[in-house]
Structure 1
Amino acid sequence: MMRAWILPMVFVLSGAAVATGLILKGSYGTAVVLLAAFLALAGVNSPLIFPRSIGALEAQRRSAVDGRPVVFWRPGCTYCIRLRLRMGRGSRRLYWVNIWHDPAAAEAVRAANDGNETVPTVFVDGRPHTNPDPAWVREHLPPSA
């Protein structure tokens, strides 16, 4: 759990250090802008922007019932962030599984990617697709109920 927060905390602490240095030099405006940028980076790289993760087995069970894709992801992954942001509200219709929280999920990703934990790995109809285009994922969402 703590591993997911390391990168965001590095951004917050780095931003605070840079802003403090700029404030001591009298550059208040620059300090505020840079601190805001570092906080935005921390927010984007935190687990907070992703829908609540569920376990791999539960996600696969639910997907078998309703046909929704299962996304295996991890915090700090640039490609996962890109997928999440480009999916917009449609991301709520996917099942998100954090591979750092679920050993079975990490194993499923390694099995699909020649032993590598390459994410995002999206399972559609039980078949893995590594780092697919968000438009492709959107096409494979079942119609809204």
Structure 2
Amino acid sequence: MSTSENTTRDEGLIGNEKMEEAIAALQQEPSEELLAHALTVVRRRMREKGQVILAVDMPQEQSATPATPMQIQAVKTADGKAWWVAFTSFDEELRGGDQVKSTFLADLEQIFRTALTVPEIEGVILNPWNRTMMLEKSLIRIILGEA
């Protein structure tokens, strides 16, 4: 790996291109088989302790107190439902222009388990700008092996 590549890759993200490929295949030819394959690839990355880049909203300075936590960024879909946003790579994050201000790396399993406990969100959108996969809570449970 070249030095310039090292600056844009994190060990926890190495292997996420498999998820991107599975999602791209599902987008090109939506089917039950390719959905099952994509979910399996996501589950495999989760079990490998794979990470994603999570977008966060920082508290506004005037209203922020030391106890004000950052919030995982949510996007609203046309139907008004809120979804957390996660990216499989820095390239995927950058596709959205300047919409993402702050990010951190997070463990896939931790994100999925936490998402199931938050009633205000529908699930997690992987790569909202390009190789997109909307993981509603029922699909998250399948990935976690709880369904």
TM-score class, shorter = under 0.3
Q: Higher helix fraction: Structure 1 or Structure 2?
A: 1
Q: Which has the larger radius of gyration?
A: 1
Q: Higher strand fraction: Structure 1 or Structure 2?
A: 2
* TM-score normalised by the chain length of structure 1: 0.26
